[in-house]
Amino acid sequence: LLDPCARAISGWDVYDRGLATGDHDNSAHCLKAVVTERDHFDFNSHPRPRHDWRETVIYELHPGGFSRDLSSPASPEHRGTFLGLIDALPYLQSLGITAIELLPSMAFDPADAPDGRQNYWGYSPLSWFAPHHGYVCGDEPLAGRQQLRQLVAACHDHGLEVFVDVVYNHTTEGSSQGPCLSWRGFADRLYYHQSADGIYQDVSGCGNSIAANHPLAVQLIIESMRCWALELGIDGFRFDLGAALTRGAGLTPLDQPPLFEAMESDPELADIKLVGEPWDCGGLYRLADFPAQRVGTWNGRFRDDLRRFWKGDDNTSWAMAQRLIASPDLYGGEPAAAGKSIHFVTAHDGFTLNDLVSYNGKHNLANGEDNRDGDSHNNSWNHGVEGPSTDPAIKTLRQRQMRNMLCTLLLSAG
């Protein structure tokens, strides 16, 4: 079993996910924790930028994919890694953003995917402490901590904060038929939501759901956040399926979830920015009433109403006006306070901005999932042709519509 608090991991060259089920000995093919120092990030040399929420513009990116393209300024040996992002910082700074948000950067299992495929996105954590080895140059287990610190230091030197997308709502161990890698082997009934007869309760859509408000899970998640904030220098966290983290025993939604109470009362996390998805896969949606004082929530209503407005749907002007002034209709008649309503048009889920103006429906066929994956409710418009077009008028209109949506996003109060 892998230590849930492991800050570095070895054994990727011999690891076999398929051997982590059943009662046979897989010690020759398992991952092992590496003992590390817990020294803090050098904030004296690279202080946090501490941008006010009213000035914050977040740029979401994939730590591996962003610098992998040949057009990237990263040196060939650094492409697809944390270090590869450093070479792109002048470009990112020139955009006027104040923060980058790294998609999941904690260690995940590339083999947690359908047969013959690789897990690219990382929403299947294997560790909440160790940086993902696939974004690291070289095979040295401790290099992940060192190179992520280098990236954060360079970002701070460029005036950029660094957020990380964290998946505390489930793990790579999957359903009860999945592999036994870490949490399951230590305390299965404590870490995972289960019914009285031991049936897994799943609001993550991934086979299991962490009982995030059990004292054991609260302690582990808070320690993970301290590790990334104090040891690695991270400035903010974005909680994937944040609403799932507000559920208690029996999946009951809590108005005072112990996890967020512990988070917001921890003096070592007092200056860390917190953002959450206000929904989960069990139907819970807590946008304006998310039960945490400091957590800003992704405003899905802003995304949907903006898309419908620029698509030309009927009866969308009033809703768009509300979104532009921080959604007072959703926040008790008053505009949302700075940092409470996080506005976006597109993100890693679903369509890109170009997809939004190029397709009426999704076409996720190349990954072998038969177009089942991804949301079918995209409020998109192809402007007359499904997919790429050589028509100058259509290309011009699509470009204009993308600028319209981006401009609306940047001018909105949120």
Of 112, 277, 280, 305, catalytic: 277
Instruction: Reply yes or no on whether 60 is catalytic.
Output: no
Of 112, 173, 240, 305, catalytic: 240
H runs (alpha helix) in 26-140: 82-86, 89-94
Joined tokens for residue 288: 């304006």
Burial class (CB in 10 A: 0-12, 13-18, 19+), 272: buried
The rounded distance, in Å, linking the Cα atoms of 398 and 105 is 33
The rounded distance, in Å, linking the Cα atoms of 343 and 45 is 32
Q: Are 405 and 356 in contact (CB under 8 A)?
A: yes
H runs (alpha helix) in 192-278: 215-226, 258-265
The rounded distance, in Å, linking the Cα atoms of 356 and 398 is 9
Instruction: Reply yes or no on whether 161 is catalytic.
Output: no
Nearest CA to 246 among 263, 268, 269? 263
Joined tokens for residue 251: 């999946």
The DSSP bridge partners found for residue 236 are 163, 273
Nearest CA to 82 among 132, 123, 8, 118? 132
Residue 154, φ and ψ in degrees, nearest 5: -65, -40
Which residues are catalytically annotated? 240, 277
